[in-house]
Amino acid sequence: MKFHTFSSSPFLLALLLLASETLYAASGDLDPTFVIGLGANGRVKCLALQADGKILIGGHFTVVNGTNRNYIARLNADGELDDTFSPLFGPDYDVDSIAVQADGTMLIGGEFIHVDGYDRGYIARLKTDGRVDNNSFNISHQANGSVTAIAVQTDGKIVVGGSFTGYGFVSCPYVARLETNGTLDFGFSTNVGANAAVNTVVLQPDGRMLLGGYFTQVNGTNRNYVARLDVNGNLDDTFNAGAGPNGPVFALALQPDGKVVLGGGFTMINGTNRKSVARLNVNGSLDASFDPGTGPDGWIFSLAIQPSGQIVIGGTFSYVDGTNQYYLARLNADGGLDDGFFSGEGPNSYVYSLFKAKDGKLLVGGEFTQVNGTSRNHYTRLLGDPVTLKIESRGPKMVITWTDPAFVLQSAPSLTGLFTNMESPNSPYTNSVPSPVQYFRLKAKN
């Protein structure tokens, strides 16, 4: 991570008042610090980020950077294969979803039925070294169909969605919640469940959960392709999209204001034209202020919301609102195409997964073998929005502002000293110009 460091002496501060600074180059360009070598030998379908910055990739591959890795692998923060993560045999088929738990272990879901030679019906937990957890995660009762979505609650319980209709001998059509040890949570009301596959699950800060998929009913009530459950698994009647989308939802993203962005294979939302991408208000109604025009000409499989409020979309499209935009694009907060996102032609094939890191950079996985004309086999990392830093003098006060809330302000008595978070590290920071000299930097939040 590049830190931007500056002194607060009055003389240097006066020089810095004249201009803003940026932390890195154009948004959407290939990250030159991320080197993947040969990459993966098959599509990457899901991505996750550990607290230490290491990156988990899952999908339909058996080799990563020349080393055998069956369907899941871990990369170091610079993109190199992490040799300390070495499953015995790994899953025996595709990994479609990954979720990192608070203790560093990871949950995987997909189309596999064995992991490291053990029976694991479509869901498993891996230890930090990549080996299957065969002790503390009870999977004696397994799902009977693929698990395509995993979300971990703050209390450690696990919400899963997919094409399964039962867990062990218990009916829980297409959505369920597990206890921390992998057993079914019988306090979660899904005996009716959805009537078709759940593709994606997103947890809200209040504990409610958003579902997207192929379903047209949830718990016996009409809900076309998108719905919300309360903390106990009951259908949340306060979220209702009316007629909703007219086709499947593959991706959901929650904005800080509570609005919900959805991507998929639909062409309308509640009778209004919305091709493959739309935004809903907090009550599920269509947000008319978000209008992508004619939208993408293909399906959307992944979404990422940036601190600027712009939305990155990935999928099978080659046009967005009539403009050539291959498989990856960024929309402005009002839904219009951002034609300044990345320089070059983008990926050369489908994008299945996006993950925004805390420093604003964007991890991308998919079917592609090139990005912007450069070899990138099935995964890469792109630069995020430039972080603009502004320093002003207001009488005896110094005011420091920056554009990305993913960064905090730190200070130290010297350039080589220990940098620690300020008492109020978020933008804007206001204080008297200190004496003696104090040095500041921005650092991505952990």
Phi, then psi, of 11 in degrees rounded to 5: -70, -50
For residue 405, cis peptide bond before it (omega within 30 degrees of 0): no
User: Among 242, 234, 320, which residue's Cα sits nearest to residue 281?
Assistant: 242
Q: Where are the domains of the chain?
A: 394-444
CA distance 371 to 109: 28
Place of tokens 């992998």: 182
Element (H, E) at 14: helix 10-16
Residues ≥6 apart with Cβ < 8 Å to 435: none
Q: Residue 346: exposed, middle, or buried by beta-carbon count in 10 A (0-12, 13-18, 19+)? A: buried
Tokens of 363: 């991890």
Angle at 430 between CA 428 and CA 434, to 5 degrees: 140
CA distance 397 to 431: 5
Residues ≥6 apart with Cβ < 8 Å to 383: 24, 25, 26, 27, 28, 29, 30, 31, 361, 362
294-312 b/e (C-beta count within 10 Å ≥ 16 → b): ebbbbbbbbbbbbbbebbb
- Residue 390 is classified by DSSP as E
Question: How does strand 106-110 pair with strand 123-126?
Answer: antiparallel
Which CA distances in Å does 178 have to 123, 143, 218?
A: 11, 11, 19
Place of tokens 């259908």: 235
Q: Quickly count: other Cβ atoms within 10 Å of residue 19's Cβ.
A: 9
pLDDT in tens, 340-366: 887 678 999 999 999 998 778 999 999
CA distance 24 to 103: 32
pLDDT for position 3: 44
Question: pTM to 2 decimals?
Answer: 0.85
Q: Can you tell me whether residue 402 is helix, strand or coil? A: strand
pLDDT for position 434: 56
pLDDT for position 423: 75
Q: Can you tell me whether residue 262 is helix, strand or coil? A: strand
pLDDT for position 369: 98
pLDDT for position 364: 98
pLDDT for position 18: 30
pLDDT in tens, 258-272: 999 999 999 999 999
pLDDT for position 387: 66
Are 73 and 60 in contact, with CB atoms under 8 Å apart? Answer: no
In 8-59, at which residue ranges do the beta strands (DSSP E only) sit? 21-22, 44-49, 55-59
Phi, then psi, of 189 in degrees rounded to 5: -85, 90
pLDDT for position 190: 62
Which CA distances in Å does 43 have to 11, 71, 371?
A: 54, 9, 14
- For the chain, which ranges sit under pLDDT 50? 1-24
Q: Can you tell me whether residue 59 is helix, strand or coil? A: strand
pLDDT for position 15: 31
